[in-house]
Amino acid sequence: LVNFICFDKTGTLTEEGLDVMAVREAGIIQDQASFLPERTDIAHCNVGLLDILAGCHGLVLVDNNLVGDSLEVKMFEATGWTLKDPDASSANDEGILAYVTQGGGFNNPYMLGQDQPQPPPTRSLAIVKRFEFSSALQRMSCVVDIDNDSNQCYVLTKGAPEVIAELCLPH
Q: Which one, of 145, 126, 168, 152, lies nearest residue 5 by Cα?
A: 168
Which listed residue (8, 85, 87, 147) is catalytic? 8
- H or E segment at 167? helix 161-167
Q: Are 4 and 26 in contact (CB under 8 A)?
A: yes
DSSP letter for each residue of 38-94? PBS-GGGS-HHHHHHHHHSS--EEETTEEES-HHHHHHHHHHT-EEE---TT-GGGT
Integer Cα distance of 98 and 68 in angstroms: 14
Query: Quick check: is 8 catalytic?
Result: yes
**Catalytic residues, which ones?**
8
